[in-house]
């Protein structure tokens, strides 16, 4: 049966009709807002390639976290810029570490926010890699214990979810075992299961000061050409104890999000990364794109692809737009 019996335009005629038959409805309920915490007080250092985003000291971060809560955004994910870096990222697991102090401050303020912490070494190592270096290479197994200790310190500080992003093999199992050994068996793990070696992380590295000082991350992050391998990574992480999985970046990997959604029955997250954000901001600043329409369409596409949870720097703007629409 086709034209003239079938006229798909009938259901597009008015906004009320379009609203009624809309398949994907985005809301603030699935959004997570990423934040960068740095030492000091009253520090708010804007990230030039990410307009609207800043590195902030704990006091400032707390102010913005209140705003995030008031906007109805359910959670934040924290990245730390430590006072000092060394070869093994030892400050990453300190009880007085920058992320640990930020988590404690948010907890103490009694904010109704899910606090997620990024677990990785690249922000804490002087060489900027996500693991320790042995013989010029990122050593997998030697990194696991350090990551597990970092995750434990985040749990002790009051994190609701720990999210390992390093892409070492076996890290989820190592973190799960460490948490369970210390009575944090209730604490969920959100694994960056399919994290690709991507050009879209550029602005983040300015924000988190985590650029590798030699080489690149292709020996541990995934090859952008591989989708079947993403399913293998996700399966392994779930087997090791991941409660939720993530695909990162989001927009160049919508097909991967869809395949993960179709193949696994755990919540699926997608990280709309810094470069995706920067592209929109730059084009909007030049008047080349309508920012609001562009962001709503992009976030809709990520959810339509199958993401339940979306980590995005647009979260605050989105919450305002969705509230007023």
Stretch that binds Zn ion, among 107-115, 130-138, 149-157, 244-252 (CB under 5 A): 130-138
User: Which tokens go with 8?
Assistant: 């798909």
- Residue 197: CB atoms within 10 A of its CB come to 15
Rounded to a whole number of angstroms, the minimum distance from the CB of residue 75 to Zn ion is: 20
Q: Catalytic residue among 85, 178, 248, 316, which?
A: 248
Nearer Cβ to Zn ion (120/146): 120
Q: Catalytic residue among 85, 195, 281, 316, which?
A: 195
Rounded to a whole number of angstroms, the minimum distance from the CB of residue 217 to Zn ion is: 8
Residue 130 as a binder of Zn ion (CB under 5 A): the answer is yes
- Residues near 94 by Cβ (< 8 Å), separated by ≥ 6? 100, 153
Rounded to a whole number of angstroms, the minimum distance from the CB of residue 294 to Zn ion is: 28
- Distance, in Å, from the CA atom of 124 to the CA atom of 121, rounded to the nearest integer, reads 5
Nearer Cβ to Zn ion (47/71): 47
User: Which tokens go with 219?
Assistant: 């020996």
Number of residues near Zn ion (by CB under 5 A): 3
Peptide bond into 84 cis (omega under 30): no
The residue nearest Zn ion at its CB is 122
- Distance, in Å, from the CA atom of 73 to the CA atom of 314, rounded to the nearest integer, reads 11
Residue 183 designated active-site:
no
Residue 248 designated active-site:
yes
User: In the range 85-124, which residues lie near Zn ion by CB under 5 A?
Assistant: 120, 122
Locus of tokens 């097909």:
255
- Contacting positions for Zn ion (CB under 5 A): 120, 122, 130
Catalytic residue ranges: 195, 248
């Amino acid at each position: 049966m086709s034209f003239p019996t079938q006229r798909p335009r009938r259901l597009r005629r008015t906004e009320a009709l379009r609203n009624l038959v809309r398949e994907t409805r985005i809301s603030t309920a699935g959004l997570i807002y990423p934040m960068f915490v740095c030492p000091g007080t009253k520090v708010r250092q804007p990230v030039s390639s990410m307009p609207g985003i800043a590195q902030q000291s704990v006091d400032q971060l707390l102010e913005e976290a209140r705003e995030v809560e008031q906007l109805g955004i359910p959670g934040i994910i924290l990245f730390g810029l430590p006072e000092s870096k060394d070869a093994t990222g030892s400050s990453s697991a300190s009880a007085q570490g920058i992320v640990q102090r930020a988590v404690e401050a948010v907890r103490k303020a009694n904010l109704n926010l899910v606090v997620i912490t990024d677990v990785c070494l690249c922000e804490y190592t002087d060489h900027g890699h996500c693991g320790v270096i042995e013989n010029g290479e990122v050593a997998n197994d030697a990194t696991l214990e350090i990551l597990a200790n970092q995750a434990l310190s985040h749990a002790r500080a009051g994190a609701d979810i720990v999210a390992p992003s390093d892409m070492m093999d076996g890290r989820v199992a190592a973190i799960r075992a460490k948490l369970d050994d210390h009575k944090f068996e209730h604490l969920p793990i959100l694994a960056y299961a399919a994290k690709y070696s991507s050009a879209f992380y550029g602005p983040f590295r300015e924000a988190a000061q985590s650029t590798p000082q030699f080489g690149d991350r292709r020996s541990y992050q995934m090859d952008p050409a591989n989708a079947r391998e993403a399913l293998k990574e996700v399966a392994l992480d779930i087997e090791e104890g991941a409660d939720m999985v993530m695909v990162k970046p989001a927009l160049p990997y919508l097909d991967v999000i869809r395949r993960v959604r179709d193949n696994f029955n755990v919540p699926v997250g997608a990280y709309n990364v810094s470069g995706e954000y920067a592209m929109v901001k730059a084009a909007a600043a030049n008047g080349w794109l309508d920012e609001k329409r562009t962001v709503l369409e992009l976030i809709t596409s990520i959810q339509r692809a199958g993401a339940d949870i979306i980590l995005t720097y647009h979260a605050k703007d989105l919450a305002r737009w969705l509230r007023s629409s």
